[in-house]
Each structure stands twice: as C-alpha cells, then as structure tokens.
Amino acid sequence: MNPTVSDISITLKSGALIPLLIMLPNVVWMLSPKADAGAPLPEPLFLTIVENVGRFATQILPFFFSLDMNRKLSLPVVIGMGLVLTIYYACWIRYFAGGRSTVLLGAPFLGIPVPMAVAPIAFLILSSYLMSSWWMFGASLLFGVAHIWISILTL
C-alpha cells in the first residue's frame, strides 16, 4: 500500500515559524555591510547572560510546539502578531533604506520606543498563547526584559 500525503506525519512543529519570522531580517542584517560601525557600548554581564539565555530559549522552544489556531482568542492574537511583525519589518526597512545608520536601530517608530526590541518581544509573547506554552511565555518575558533593557542602555 502506498502512503498518501495525509499518512505522512510532519515532524516539524508549526511553532518553528516563530523564530524564522523573527530571525529573517536579522540574517539579512548579519550578511550586509555596516555603514557606521562604532565601538560597541559595554553591557552589564548579568543582563547579557539573561538576554542570551532568553534568546536561546525563545528560538528553540517553538520547535516543540504547534500553533493552535482553534483557541478562543486565536484570531485577535494572530492579528496582533501580524501588526507587531509589520512594525518590526517596517523598522528594518527603515534601517536598510536609511543607510544602515545605527541610530535607526533604536529610533522610535509610531510612538513606540525602541521598536526593534519591543516588537519582536510582543510577537514572541503573543505566540506563546498560540502554542499554549507557559515555558515560551516565561522565556519571552525573560528575553524581553533583558533585551529591551540592553537596547535602552546602548542607545
């Protein structure tokens, strides 16, 4: 008997889309030349450790979860995720179109302070609802506090 498409199980969980969507512009940034690279500002070691632990967790945890689009508030959460992802991508476009000036990395957008730190954190927190994951929620908060704090310190 030949297996059909419906018989084949997909081992990659749909939650894997979350880190992919967040990291896409970061990959472009890493591969592109920097216009005005200055000396990096020192960051508190404790915050750097917390940020990196949170970053690692928010990039790995989604691979173990599926996005549940049948939850009670799924539609408003998906709309919110779309809005913050649009803001995030718009800020990246502004950065690339603005000559890759590091000032644009932390510049407010639509009244949102440090939007390139706030938007992905909001996206991750909202995604934790669709994953029904308290682990993802906690990791997103941990990463968010440290990432936003460091972003403000290094402006």
Give kind and range of the element (H or E) at residue 49. helix 45-60
CA atoms within 13 A on the CB side of 26: 9
pTM of the model: 0.84
pLDDT at 20: 84
pLDDT at 36: 59
pLDDT at 37: 59
How many degrees, rounded to 5, is the angle at CA 152 between CA 77 and CA 30? 75
Provide the residue type at 22 as one letter: I
| Chain centroid to CA 111 | 19
- Domain positions in the chain: 13-29+44-67+76-153
108: left (phi over 0), alpha (psi -120 to 50) or beta: beta
Nearest to 98 by CA among 121, 116, 118: 116
* Rounded Cα–Cα distance for residues 88 and 151 (Å): 15
pLDDT at 122: 97
DSSP structure class, residue 131: H
Give, for all 155 residues of the chain, the pLDDT tens digit: 554 444 444 444 678 888 888 888 888 878 877 665 566 677 889 999 999 999 999 999 999 998 988 889 999 999 999 999 999 999 999 999 998 888 888 899 999 999 999 999 999 999 999 999 999 999 999 999 999 999 999 88
Q: Which tokens in the block code for residue 139?
A: 């990791």
* Rounded Cα–Cα distance for residues 127 and 115 (Å): 18
First vs last C-alpha separation in the chain: 62
